[in-house]
Amino acid sequence: MSVKIAIIGGTGVYDPNILTEITEEKLETPFGRARVKIGSYHGKRVAFMARHGEDHSVPPHLVNYRANIYALGMLGVKNIFATAAVGSLNQDMKPKDFVFVDQFLDFTKSRPQTFVEQGVVHLDMTDPYCPRLRQVLREAAEKHGLPHHIAGTYVCTEGPRFETPAEIRMFRQLGGDLVGMTSVPEVVLAREAKICYATIAMVTNFAAGISATRLSHQEVVDIMDENVHNLRKLVMAAIESVDEDAVCGAGC
């Protein structure tokens, strides 16, 4: 039975135990090894991948995004729900809100962003985050009464440091709503692999210069811990309702 759905767990999301009959695989790809756990939920096979490692030991700028996405493609995955802890630049997007991102601004600096190493390939990114999967998430959030926003622009920075207040002011002026460190190149590689991809961004704090306090990684983890039951509820509802065989017209 092929695996057509994957969850990529970000900060605070390491537990694959919403699934049953879990096995672990180590997949060798042209870009390195990737680890993934595979289980079942409501009769669907689902892959779970911890982006930062199960012990959160891999910082965002050192994640092997190419190996991770390539490995999911090897399994036959066609739908990815990726979780991400984010800071908010938008006063309407408050801590513990979910945002189903529709656009990104890329401020990463040193990450390989393509599988292509020969020839020229220009990839359309009009809809980087799959509209079909975003609609699935919207319906799941509405079903469970979870605070959510159906669109938002994710500013991806290199990390692992947090941003300066001056950078945050610039990102706001450019139209950014959220800031994080992992969506690029993950979303780009998924598009290149023709895998539908949606980000479940969970706001953990207001960004530097907006927040009344200094930022800390522990603050992010604490908010994730407080809201992880809602995140799990959202993901489970999305998996249950998604048509894993649907043909998407958005380029993925």
Q: Which residues contact 53 (CB under 8 A, 6 or more apart)?
A: none
3-class secondary-structure state, position 117: coil
pLDDT tens per residue across all 252 residues of the chain: 689 999 998 655 556 677 888 999 999 999 999 999 999 998 899 999 999 887 778 999 999 999 999 999 999 999 999 999 999 999 999 999 999 999 999 999 999 999 988 777 889 999 999 999 999 999 999 999 999 999 999 999 999 999 999 999 999 999 999 999 999 999 999 999 999 999 999 999 898 778 666 666 677 777 777 788 899 899 999 999 999 998 887 667
- The whole-angstrom separation of Cα 101 and Cα 154 is 7
Give the DSSP letter string of 178-233. EEESSHHHHHHHHHHTT-EEEEEEEEEEEPTTTSSS---HHHHHHHHHHHHHHHHH
pTM for this structure?
Answer: 0.93
- The whole-angstrom separation of Cα 153 and Cα 89 is 10
Please name which of 149, 18, 29 lies closest in space to residue 89, comparing C-alpha atoms. 149
Domain limits, the chain: 5-241
- Report residue 8: phi and psi, to 5°: -105, 115
> Is domain 5-241 in CATH 3.40.50.1580, yes or no?
yes
- The whole-angstrom separation of Cα 1 and Cα 43 is 11
Residue 62 is classified by DSSP as G
3-class secondary-structure state, position 235: helix
